[in-house]
Amino acid sequence: MSLFLTLLGNGIALLLVAAVSFHAYFLYSYTYWSKKGVPYLEPKFPYGNCTSLFVKGKGYPVGLSDSCYKKIREKVWKVGGFFTIARPTLLVLDPEYVRDILIKIAQVSIFFVGGFEASSSTMTFALYELAKHPELQDRLRDEIMTVLNDKKELTYRVHQRNEVPSASYNCPPTTYIWQLSSKGVETLRLYPVVSCLQRKYIKDYTLKNTNMVVEKGVTCVIPVFSIQRDPELFKDPLIFDPDRFSPENRNNIVPYSNLPFGDGPRNCIGLRFAYMQTKVGIIETIRRFKLTISPSTKMPIQIDTDLLILQPRETLYLQAEPI
């Protein structure tokens, strides 16, 4: 009996030591950003800043990055640290820092999922917005029919020669939605394929014009979804407005504030394929059907924050009337 009690006591003591050590490790980890001089959101043991993710079931990555983005934006920080459990993560808000990270100093940890799912998600939102805005849909259809004329097939040659208005840099504002520039697609601004980008620092880096040092190996998160819906960067950000990217307005866009495919030499490798696939799908649909919102679609639509690729939470139903 005494042996059992001794073993039980030793076991409890070991558990207590392990628990204290575990807690001490987390507390030490939570000092990381203060030592580097980087402003940060106060973490809570044991989830860091991810309590909403584990306890409340808030979606990742949209829910977590957007929540941290809003808190850091309220504090008027250009960057802010947070903790994914005990791992330090840097959230970047300032477009200047976004440029440096995407182009100069970080190694890509590709967050984009290629293939057909990304393009189909983009087409879903694009057709939904065109169905909501029949005047844009009609003007786009008129241009498509004018350019294609009697041609029944949209060939790769026609597409590459920019004979289709949606692929032209000089098309009217309403059809400028589908131009090839990675900064100019309003659908992808409002509904970016992926809500955030991740980069990993491959060397120590001092943030420009600060004394804040980020060490090699730290993960940096660029909250694309939140940046592209920030009212300080885009007027009326929740409104679908292709005129933002018209030839006369596109120079007003803050550089590196519209990042549906990232930017710089390490941007999404599938960018051109995704654009071409999406445009062909839109053109072939709009030239054949008049789209309207079905009564079965729940309005306003809700974004599913639990998925990597941005998708509506409920099915979007459209009515297609053959032309």
Taking the CA of residue 134 as centre, how many other CA atoms within 13 Å lie in the half-sphere pointing to its CB?
A: 9
268 is in an annotated binding site: yes
The pair phi, psi for residue 292, each rounded to 5°, is -140, 160
Residue 101: name the closest of 200, 173, 11, 181 by CA: 200
Using CA atoms, how far residue 228 sits from 125, 204, 236, 309, 322, in Å, is 16, 28, 11, 16, 35
Position 113 scores a pLDDT of: 47
Strand 219-222 and strand 87-92: the pairing is parallel
Position 170 scores a pLDDT of: 37
Domain residue limits, the chain: 34-93, 99-322
Amino acid at position 168, single letter: S
Residue 295, both tokens:
């009564």
Place of tokens 């250009």: 78
Q: Which CATH architecture has domain 99-322?
A: Orthogonal Bundle (1.10)
3-state secondary structure of 296: coil
Cβ neighbours of residue 281 closer than 8 Å, sequence gap 6 or more: 119, 123
The pair phi, psi for residue 221, each rounded to 5°, is -110, 130
Position 3 scores a pLDDT of: 66
List the chain residues with pLDDT less than 70: 1, 3-5, 7, 53-61, 63, 103-117, 149-185, 265-266, 269-270, 308
CB 128 within 8 A of CB 301: yes
- Our CA dihedral for 69, 271, 256, 199, rounded to 10 degrees, sits at 50
Residue 281, both tokens:
């799908």
